[in-house]
Amino acid sequence: MEKVTVSLGNRSYKIIISSGLCNDISFWSLMSSDKVMIVTNETLSHIYLNKILTLMEKSKIKVEYVILPDGEQYKNMKSVDKIISALLKSSYGRDTKLIALGGGVIGDITGFAAAIYQRGISFIQVPTTLLSQVDSSVGGKTGVNHILGKNMIGAFHQPLLVIIDTDFLSSLPAREFSSGLAEVIKYGIILDNDFFQWVEQNIDLLMSLDKNALTYCIRKCCELKANIVSDDECDTGCRALLNLGHTFGHAIEACMGYGKWLHGEAVSAGIVMAIRTAERLIQFNKKNANKIINLLQRANLPIYGPIEMIAQDYLNYMMRDKKIISGNQLRLVIPISIGISELRNDIPDKLVIESINDCCQLRHI
């Protein structure tokens, strides 16, 4: 069993990582509360919900549940309203704990509902996808999408605990697993060259779901993110570096329609666009660019944007992104070398458009 601490004073919490956790009755007893409500989706409910309900009932925990539709397209206020309506109908008070059993979509929706129900109740993250285990379940960013932009409605609300059971990954579709690898690779690019090299050397073990490799990888990503979040909880400084590829990627998700491109797929294409931008700024060498692109391809991730989008489509959405600052200046995370990155707000639109066009060339083949 591995443990990582997110240090935030009286809001600090543990991330517990192991296999078989969700079959262990002692971990469900950690949920002890007058009332608990599980939030999950239709896909996961058929696989895990009955088993977990049985374990919680054995722990004498009063539990109810809400089942949401599965998919990024349901990450909206309608889903939040369904959770809040269930809480109110069952007279759940401020001593309630919500449990987010699912991937990043369920975690974000549940966390946001917890943040706003009766001005804030506790919630626990039980992430079931690689992407949520290495990234979205940690750090307290919660929220839902708007038709005009991704994650535009939300709040910072830290979980009480994060329980990561690597056994969940055995039922994860290959495409979803690859989506999570985009965030894994991102950490190496922006923060840790040694970790990037480790992923290069172990990508085949990760993709074959080797438990030792997975546990190390998840723990390392959680450590890197925990350090960033502890220094910059509300994303006003260094935490913005975690958005490598995301400004481009969020444009893809919003323009294409939420759910058509998985988050990690969009981020992967966005990382390549950020690399092309760095090359044009003459601050990133071709050898490192090729290493990153090769690793993304080995992880079965896209390196080009959707054929349906042109550069102006990206800019239209990027200029509504949360990373915009005063004066409509676009902020982008740009790598300097593998393991080192910076935040720039002085990149001309023309250069950004050229970099996007580099990643749209399949349109002409």
- Lowest-pLDDT choice from 28-37, 304-313, 332-341, 347-356: 28-37
Q: What is the pLDDT of residue 340?
A: 97
Burial class of 343 by CB neighbour count within 10 A (0 to 12, 13 to 18, 19+): middle
Q: What is the pLDDT of residues 303-314, one digit of tens each?
A: 999 999 999 999
Q: Which residue blocks in 70-151 are alpha helix, DSSP H?
A: 77-89, 104-116, 130-131
Output the average pLDDT for the chain. Answer: 93
Residue among 223, 209, 174, 248 at smallest CA distance from 7: 223
Q: What is the pLDDT of residues 54-112, one digit of tens each?
A: 888 887 788 899 999 999 999 999 999 999 999 999 999 999 999 999 999 999 999 99
Nearest 5°: the CA angle 272, 170, 23 is 130
Cα 224 to its chain centre, rounded Å, is 14
Whether pLDDT at 161 is above 90: yes
Q: What is the CATH number of domain 174-364?
A: 1.20.1090.10
Whether pLDDT at 319 is above 90: no
d(CA 113, CA 328): 31
* Mean pLDDT for the stretch of residues 342-353: 94
Radius of gyration of the chain measured on its C-alpha atoms: 20
d(CA 116, CA 353): 39
Whether pLDDT at 187 is above 80: yes
Q: What is the pLDDT of residue 360?
A: 86
Residue among 315, 296, 305 at smallest CA distance from 269: 305
Contact 14, 161 (CB under 8 A): yes
Domain ranges for the chain: 2-171, 174-364
Q: Coil, strand or helix: which one is 162?
A: strand
Whether pLDDT at 364 is above 50: no
Sort strands 36-41 and 63-68 into parallel, antiparallel or unpaired. parallel
Looking at CATH, the fold of the domain delimited by 2-171 is given as: Rossmann fold (3.40.50)
Q: How many CA atoms lie within 13 A of 303 on its CB side?
A: 16
Q: Give the bridge partners for 41, in sequence order.
A: 68
Q: Coil, strand or helix: which one is 224?
A: helix
Q: What is the pLDDT of residues 16-47, one digit of tens each?
A: 999 998 888 777 776 666 689 999 999 999 99
Residue among 282, 280, 281, 254 at smallest CA distance from 266: 254
Orientation of helix 104-116 relative to helix 77-89, angle to 10°: 60
* Mean pLDDT for the stretch of residues 356-361: 86
pLDDT > 70: percent of the chain: 95
Q: What is the pLDDT of residues 200-243, one digit of tens each?
A: 999 999 999 999 999 999 999 999 999 999 999 998 899 999 99
Element (H, E) at 334: strand 332-337
Contact 324, 176 (CB under 8 A): no
Q: What is the pLDDT of residue 365?
A: 36
Task: Please say whether the dihedral angle defined by the alpha carbons of residues 53, 48, 186 and 243, taken in this order, is positive or negative.
Answer: negative
pLDDT > 90: percent of the chain: 84
Q: What is the DSSP string of 20-73?
A: SGGG-HHHHGGG-SS-EEEEEEHHHIIIIIHHHHHHHHHTT--EEEEEEPSSGG
Q: What is the pLDDT of residue 55?
A: 86
Look up the pTM and report it.
Answer: 0.94
Contact 228, 239 (CB under 8 A): yes
